[in-house]
Structures are given as structure tokens and as C-alpha cells.
Chains A and B, each alone.
Chain A
Amino acid sequence: MKYLLSLLFLFFININSASVSTDLSAPGFELVDSYGENISLSNFEGKTVVLEWTNHDCPYVAKHYATGNMQNTQEQAKDQGVVWLTIISSAPGTQGYVLPAKANELTATRNAQPNHVLFDSEGGVGKMYGAKTTPHMYVIDKKGALRYQGAIDDAGGPDFWTKNLLDADNYIKNALGEMQDGQAISTKVSKPYGCSVKYKS
């Protein structure tokens, strides 16, 4: 019987929970943005979309914004006509949860350039994409396929706090550039680094 069961194992094909696979189609979602508008991923069909999971009080995110690295990446994306969606999955009462007005203020004071800041306080979209850290980045191509997921750059690790982020190898800039040139993406997956996403528990 054991042998039979182990044979059965050979047929097991089990796609694990809560994640998305690179090069397969990115799951759709609809969230409310900081202006109270319903924003759906399908609104941006035909455009490249970057998803950025954020929590402004997370020290990792704070450093990316304080150094201008995140804004710089957003700027380049914007120049290429890429849609940038910043998503907050912090649950009410947890770090990074903000009201719409505060979100807009953060965008203004930090000179950030997202097309929309989206609220995912139930965490459904974050969990669907398997967003684990802030920041955690995803790039979706014009056809709706996920092309990159992971960290924003290779600055993660022990020396993060002392590194100059603008010198780091920026995976998002690389991926967007390569996609624009019709090249294969050199880094499709990287280990995301940062604070944990403050999901509703």
C-alpha cells in the first residue's frame, strides 16, 4: 500500500498557494485609490505596469524614498509610459496604514510619482501576489504577463544601511529597459528584502 501511495505521489502536481509565477498572466484585481476611485488592473491593458508594495514607516522603504532611489525609478518608468501602482496592504492599526489624505500628502512631500496609490487593507491582493516585504516589486507586461517579481535592487543584505542605493543594480530599471528593447529579462526573480507586510491577522 505504501508503495502504491508513493507511486501516486508521482502524479501530484501541486501549485502552491499565494503566489504568482513569472511569465504567466498576473492575476487581476480591483482596489480603491487615494482619490476614492476604483482602479482595476485591467484598466491598463496594453501598458506595462509596475506594482510597488509599500509602508512608509518601514525603515527599508524610508531609505529608498529618503535617498530618492524609489522616485528615480518611478521617474524612469514614467518616461517609458509605464503605469506605476503603489499598494498599501497594511491593515488598519498597523504600521504603514494611512488614510487617503495622508497617502496623498506622502506622495506630494516625497515627490513620488505613482499613477495611483491603492489601499489593500484586507490584504487580499497582497496575499494573492505573495507580497512579503516592503518594498516588494512586480512588473507586468503589456499583455498582462508577470515578468519580474522580487526586490527593487540588489542592495538588500547586511550592508543595506550603509549602501548608496543609487549605485545599486536596479532590477526594475533593468527589466523595464529590457522589455522596451524587446530583450529577455536578465533577472526575473529575486529575493525581496525589507520589513514584513503588515497584513491583517
Chain B
Amino acid sequence: MKKLYTIGHNVRLAALLLLISFFPAKSFTSSYFDTGESSINLITESYQVNTKDTLLVGIEFKLSPGWHTYWKNPGDSGEGATIKWNLPPGFKASDILWPGPKKIPVNPLMTFGYDDKALLLTEIKTPGQFSGPVTISAKVNWLTCKDICIPQEGEVDLTLMKGPKTISEFATKLTEIALTIPKKFPAQSRVTKINEKIFLQFEKEGSSNISEAYFFPNEYGLISYVKDQKLERNNNSFSLQLNRAEVRVETDKLKGVLKLKIDETEEFYELDLPIEGASNSPILAMSLLTGIVFAFLGGIILNAMPCVFPILSIKILGFIKQSQGSKKKLVQHGLIFSAGVLTTFLAISWLLIFLRASGEAIGWGYQLQSPWVVSILIYLFVAIGIVFMGNIVLGSSLANFGSLAKNRTDFLSSFFTGVLAVIVASPCTAPFMGPAVGLALLQPGLKSIVIFLALGIGFSLPYLMLSIYPQLLSKLPKPGEWMQTFKQIMAFPMWAAALWLAWVLSAQVDMESVFAVLVGALLIALALWLMEKTQSSDQLLKRITVLFSLGLMIFSIWLIPLNQDDESSNLRNEVNNFSAQKLSSLRSEKKAIFVNFTADWCITCKVNEAIALDQDNVKKLLREKDIVYLKADWTRKDPEIASILARYGRTGVPLYLLFPPVGAPTILPELLTESLLLDFLNEIN
């Protein structure tokens, strides 16, 4: 048995004591006890105490150089001391009053405790009656550690006389330490959780000299012990940034001790605050509510995205005209437009749920992996541009785009404008949308539909507002000739979108197929022109042209390549191209790696590449830090990439992962800037 606790030559008495601890250890007791590595001493503010009195006593630990003992929360390893009091009847001991701890790093871990000296205080309350002298004794278990740990146990006692309190030689020391016991934090403070960070904010008047702050959590699993805490200040307001724990235990309270270093003195404050902000975001953990809010915001922002903006600006022109009409109609149009938007989002969510159920790896923008969809969108964008440019009016049954501004009575037109707006929006993602759609796709059916509906409501909100409060329209310019000009100008972004889609297509199929689609686009243009030209002709000619135009359109659609061509592109062979195998082999070589998950059809990705990834400073830093750059191109379907996206809770691109040489990756924000990216890269050692 004895051997089990033998740790080199250091154990001796401690080990022995541990083994015999169940024997009454009377013979060892005194107010002082020494184990070699550390000693304890029971000290009191007075050797005399009255009835109904409070006496401050303390266990004073003295530790040999290099050894330390622990706070009540020891951090990553270790254990705080325990004191078991043996008191005369009626005497009551308080819990240990722990003085503010120190950070004691044990690379790569962090522990909290005391080195060289520690004084753990206890308040002892005496009863209304007792006869002195009395003996109080304490059995103390503590752990002292250097590079190794030794559990220690000792018993100390003290005899007290009955009478008014006097002042002992330890009184000053005890009251001094008592001042360092964390007090209730007097200032206003609050805690907010934003994704992976917890922000402890507080006000402190006249605190010009706070040079340092550190929060010692009481409990495991909320905040990281190891990671630095960043203090920011703004006059008298402070914000301490805490990182979430590596392994989580969910809690809604922040409890612990805040250390503030003011000039050269340290102050400790006890905190117990509710954590505000429910989101804790790997998306998987994002609450449904946050998802809905994100979807709603994303929907609103989506309106300003380049693929949607032209369509909707034309819709606003429609509103301007309609504002001359009856208010009731206007509201109806607004509602019907919203209905169109919502119906389409509903249809998309059903489609996605259906596809998900059939095992497809899906995501927002997923449809753009299909050359067929891309080609149809090219035709659509070309057609919209031509309609904007010309004066065409097609039958209301076709619910054509050009009639938006003219055919003010046509509700069907409003409805299909809504449908169209969502369809052309599909190549775009807006901020907030990514996580929300990601969540939607991971949720069971009903929840995911709710999120998509929130997206739709956000998307149609501005128009609904305009139609309900037409006063807002008076802020817009009066209708007139300029509307025609504006409409024509808006044709250009539409065509630009078509060009961009053609480029996307070129990454999916060979040149000949792209060419075929361009010819198809030309034929669509011809068909539309013919229809416009014969608008006011007689019935027969009109019919012939419509038929001929339809033929042209069908032929155009027939021209579309059906499948993506796997051999047309040699993207896969690029040195920097991503594969799961390459990633894991680089990981095992302990390389730092930056992975860019992107796709040609993802505008956000391309913008990020232009403004951040392709910047010389970034490239230079990547080289200097020997960070391997990998590009995971999701322009085409790729189950391997889809499964990695899923692992990080994503269903779409962009996703930026920065792997340190060892450990889990950091997920970078979806919107990159050069300086942001440089900051992240600089954190890699």
C-alpha cells in the first residue's frame, strides 16, 4: 500500500499521514504543521473570544519555493483545499473565504491558485453560552504542486479563552487579507454572449489607472482558462473579452472573481451575472429564434444585392405609378407581391427538404451547380434586360416583367414579380443569411420552413412598408420620363449578371456548350424582339410570330448542356487544390493551413478573394508564416467538400478555415477584409 503514494523522496510525512488519516491524529496537532513542501498554521485575530461574537481565523499556508496550492476552482488541474472544523458545541464556522487567486500557468494548461503564501480565512461565530477555554481544530486537506502534485493533510488546533476580544500578533495580517477577499462588485456590469465570445462589460468611475483585468470563473466549462482575456476601455466603460471554453458545459450565469489591477494594487470582486444573448454559435447550436432573426435580417439585406436590386428598383417604379391610384389597391399589390415571395420561398424550402430527404448534399446556391439551372438563369437575365430596354408588353398570363410599371391593375403581375425576385436572388447570399439557411437545412422540416418564411418576410418587408405607408413614396421622385431611362439603365446590371453566369458555366462545361448557350441567349433576344415588333400587327401575323418565337425559345432550351462535364476542367490538378486526403496529410505534418471554400457562382466568395485573399500582404504573410493555402472549389458538385462544409455546420460557401499546426481550426467570418484576415493569420505561430 505504502508504495502507491510514494512520489520520489517528497512524500515522507504526507504520505504516511494520508495512510493513517483515519486514526485519531491527536499527537500531531498544534497550531503548526509542516510537510516539507508546505506548512500550515492556524492563526487567529484574538486568543480571547466572547459569547455571540465573530472571530476571524485563518489557515496560513507556507509553500516551499516553486510549489503552489489551489484556489476553489483550480483551473485545468489540481484541487482547492478543504478545511473540516472540529468545534465546541454551538460554534459555527463559515465557508472558506478565498482571497483573490493568481494565474499559475503550467504550459499548455492554466491553473488558479497561490504560490509561496496563502491565507484562507474563516469566520467563527460563538454561541450565546460556552465555558472557556475551548479548543478549535481544523483538519486540512490540500494539494501542493510544482511539476508534480502531492496531496497533503494536516490537523491544527488552537485554544481560545473566554473574554472580550484582544488583538493578537496575527490580527493585522488577517484584516489585511480580509480586505483582499472578493467583494460584491459595486459598479454596473453585464455579460453578453456573442457567438464564441463572452463580453463582460462594466463601468468604473475614476478608474483611469486600471491597467489589467482578469476574470477567474468559478465553474468549469464556460470560459477558457488558457486563452488571453482582452480588456478594452472607453472612458469609464470597460469590456473584457472572454473566450469560450474548449469543452462546453452549458450555463446561463457568469460566476467568478474579477481581478482589477489599479496602479500597483489588485482588487478582487465577486460576480454572479446572467448571460445575455442566447446565441452560441457554431451554427448547430444557434437557437431557432436567432435563426429566424438572422433570416429576417438577411432577407432585408438581400434586396440590396446586385442580382436582385434591378428587379426590385423597377418594382418601386411600379409603386410610384401606383401611388397615384387608390390606396387600397396599393396595399393589395404589396400583399400579393409578398405572397409571391413567400410562396416561392416556401416552394424552395419544400424542394430542399425533399432533396435533403433523398440524400442530396444541398445548400443555398446549390442549384447553381447545375449547368441547366445556370443556363436558364442566363436566358432569364438576358430576357429581363431586353424587356427593360424595350417597350414590350406580353400577355398578362405570362406575367411579364415589363408590365410591372404599366399594368397596374394586374395582381398576377405583382405575384410573379415576387416569384421572379426570389428566383433572380438565388445566386446571391447576403450577410446573416448564410448561418440562417445553414441552420434551416439542418433543422427538421417545420422549423426549416419557418426560417425560410422569415427570410421571405424580411425580403418583402420594404415593399410591404411602401405599399402600406405610401407617404414614404413621396420621398421618392415623381414619376416621369426618367423612369423609362432608369429602366433601360437597369438592363445593364441584368446583362452583367448574365455574363457572370456565363463565366460560371464555363467552369462547369466545355467551351462549345457555353457557346451553344450564348447562341440560345441570342435567339431568346431575337424572339423577344420579334414579339415586340409585331405587338400592334394584325392577329394572324402576331400569332405566327408568337409561335415562331416560342420555337426559338424551345430550341434555345434544347441547346442547354444537361450534365456537367468532368473532364473539361483540370482544376483538380492544381497544386493548391483541396482534397480531404491532402488536408489530413498536411495536418499530420503539423502545417498551418488556410482553406478557402469557394465557388465561381458565389459572389461573396469572389468579393472576399478580391479584397482580401488576393492581396499581396496576405500572400506575403502566408509565405512568411509557412501557412499552406488550399482552395476547395465547390463550383461543381463535390460530396467530399459538401461533407466537410457540413462538419462545420455549413451548407454553402464561403467558408474559411484556418488550421493552426496543432488543434482545431478557427472559422473566419464570412465577410473578410484584408486587415481582418491579416489579424487572424498573425495569430498563428
Q: Which A residues contact B (CB, under 8 angstroms)?
A: 8-22, 24-25, 28, 57-60, 62-63, 65-66, 94-95, 123-124, 127-128, 130, 132-133, 149-150, 156-162, 189, 191-199, 201
Closest to A132 in B: B76
Instruction: Verify if B224 is at the interface (C-beta below 8 Å from A).
Output: yes
For the complex of A and B, list the 7 residue pairs with the smallest distance between their C-beta atoms, beginning with the closest. Answer: A19-B246, A158-B82, A196-B77, A11-B669, A191-B220, A17-B663, A18-B663
Report A189 CB to chain B, min CB distance, Å.
Answer: 6
| Residues of chain B in range 466-505 having any CB-CB distance to chain A below 8 Å | none
A21 to B221, CA, bound (A): 12
Closest to B14 in A: A59
Contact between chains at B246 and A62 (CB < 8 Å): no
Contact between chains at B149 and A124 (CB < 8 Å): no
Closest to A157 in B: B79
Contact between chains at A12 and B195 (CB < 8 Å): yes
Instruction: Verify if B406 is at the interface (C-beta below 8 Å from A).
Output: no
Contact between chains at B246 and A17 (CB < 8 Å): yes
Contact between chains at A9 and B197 (CB < 8 Å): yes
Contact between chains at B221 and A191 (CB < 8 Å): yes
Closest to A60 in B: B149
A63 to B245, CA, bound (A): 28
Contact between chains at B5 and A62 (CB < 8 Å): yes
Contact between chains at A16 and B227 (CB < 8 Å): yes
Contact between chains at A133 and B76 (CB < 8 Å): yes
Instruction: Verify if B169 is at the interface (C-beta below 8 Å from A).
Output: no
A11 to B656, CA, bound (A): 12
Question: Which stretch (B105-113, B172-180, B369-377, B417-425) binds chain A?
Answer: B105-113
Question: Which stretch (B140-148, B160-168, B182-190) binds chain A?
Answer: B140-148
Contacts A11-B669, A59-B7, A59-B150 given; does A17 touch B247 at CB 8 Å: no
Instruction: Verify if B127 is at the interface (C-beta below 8 Å from A).
Output: no
Task: Give the interface centre of A22, A59, A127 by most chain B CB atoms within 10 Å.
Answer: A59
Taking a contact as CB atoms closer than 8 A, the residue among B108, B194, B648, B665 that contacts A199 in the complex is B108
Taking a contact as CB atoms closer than 8 A, the residue among A21, A95, A130 that contacts B148 in the complex is A95
Contact between chains at A18 and B195 (CB < 8 Å): no
A20 to B283, CA, bound (A): 17
Contacts A158-B82, A160-B79, A189-B247 given; does A128 touch B662 at CB 8 Å: yes
A96 to B384, CA, bound (A): 73
Chain A residues with CB below 8 A from B648, complex form: 15
A199 to B106, CA, bound (A): 9
A128 to B76, CA, bound (A): 15
Contact between chains at A201 and B107 (CB < 8 Å): yes
Chain B residues with CB below 8 A from A19, complex form: 246-247, 663-664
A88 to B221, CA, bound (A): 24
Chain B residues with CB below 8 A from A201, complex form: 107
Closest to B199 in A: A9
Instruction: Verify if B670 is at the interface (C-beta below 8 Å from A).
Output: yes
Contact between chains at B151 and A124 (CB < 8 Å): no
Chain B residues with CB below 8 A from A20, complex form: 247, 664
Would you give 18 A-B contacts (Cβ < 8 Å), ordered by A? A8-B669, A13-B669, A14-B196, A15-B667, A16-B243, A16-B664, A17-B666, A20-B664, A57-B7, A59-B151, A130-B247, A150-B247, A158-B81, A161-B151, A189-B248, A191-B221, A195-B145, A196-B111
A18 to B659, CA, bound (A): 11
Chain A residues with CB below 8 A from B665, complex form: 15
Contacts A66-B1, A66-B4, A130-B246 given; does A18 touch B108 at CB 8 Å: yes
Contact between chains at A194 and B77 (CB < 8 Å): yes
Instruction: Verify if B153 is at the interface (C-beta below 8 Å from A).
Output: yes
Taking a contact as CB atoms closer than 8 A, the residue among A11, A22, A94, A124 that contacts B670 in the complex is A11
Report B672 CB to chain A, min CB distance, Å.
Answer: 10
A123 to B224, CA, bound (A): 20
A25 to B386, CA, bound (A): 52
Instruction: Determine chain B's interface SS by DSSP, over half rule.
Output: loop
Contact between chains at B77 and A18 (CB < 8 Å): no
Task: Give the interface centre of B431, B669, B671 by most chain A CB atoms within 10 Å.
Answer: B669
A159 to B153, CA, bound (A): 12
Closest to B22 in A: A162
A117 to B151, CA, bound (A): 26
Contact between chains at B664 and A195 (CB < 8 Å): no
Contact between chains at A59 and B79 (CB < 8 Å): no
Closest to A93 in B: B147
A139 to B669, CA, bound (A): 32
Chain B residues with CB below 8 A from A57, complex form: 7, 148
A124 to B662, CA, bound (A): 7
A66 to B147, CA, bound (A): 22
Chain A residues with CB below 8 A from B385, complex form: none
Report B270 CB to chain A, min CB distance, Å.
Answer: 20
Contact between chains at B150 and A16 (CB < 8 Å): no
Report B642 CB to chain A, min CB distance, Å.
Answer: 16
Instruction: Verify if B660 is at the interface (C-beta below 8 Å from A).
Output: yes
Report A93 CB to chain B, min CB distance, Å.
Answer: 10
| Residues of chain B in range 66-115 having any CB-CB distance to chain A below 8 Å | 76-82, 106-109, 111
Instruction: Verify if B647 is at the interface (C-beta below 8 Å from A).
Output: yes
Report A196 CB to chain B, min CB distance, Å.
Answer: 4
A19 to B243, CA, bound (A): 14
A52 to B91, CA, bound (A): 45
Contacts A17-B660, A189-B247 given; does A11 touch B150 at CB 8 Å: no
Contact between chains at A127 and B664 (CB < 8 Å): no
Taking a contact as CB atoms closer than 8 A, the residue among A63, A127, A158 that contacts B79 in the complex is A158
Contact between chains at A24 and B76 (CB < 8 Å): no
Taking a contact as CB atoms closer than 8 A, the residue among A10, A12, A59, A127 that contacts B108 in the complex is A127
Report A87 CB to chain B, min CB distance, Å.
Answer: 16
Chain A residues with CB below 8 A from B109, complex form: 132, 196-197, 199
Instruction: Verify if B304 is at the interface (C-beta below 8 Å from A).
Output: no
Chain A residues with CB below 8 A from B245, complex form: 16
Chain B residues with CB below 8 A from A149, complex form: 247
Instruction: Verify if B18 is at the interface (C-beta below 8 Å from A).
Output: yes
Closest to B77 in A: A196
Instruction: Verify if B31 is at the interface (C-beta below 8 Å from A).
Output: no
Additional A-B contact list (19), CB under 8 Å, known A16-B196, A58-B149: A11-B669, A12-B195, A12-B196, A13-B195, A13-B281, A13-B283, A15-B666, A15-B667, A17-B664, A19-B663, A57-B148, A58-B148, A132-B109, A157-B79, A192-B77, A195-B149, A197-B77, A198-B148, A199-B108
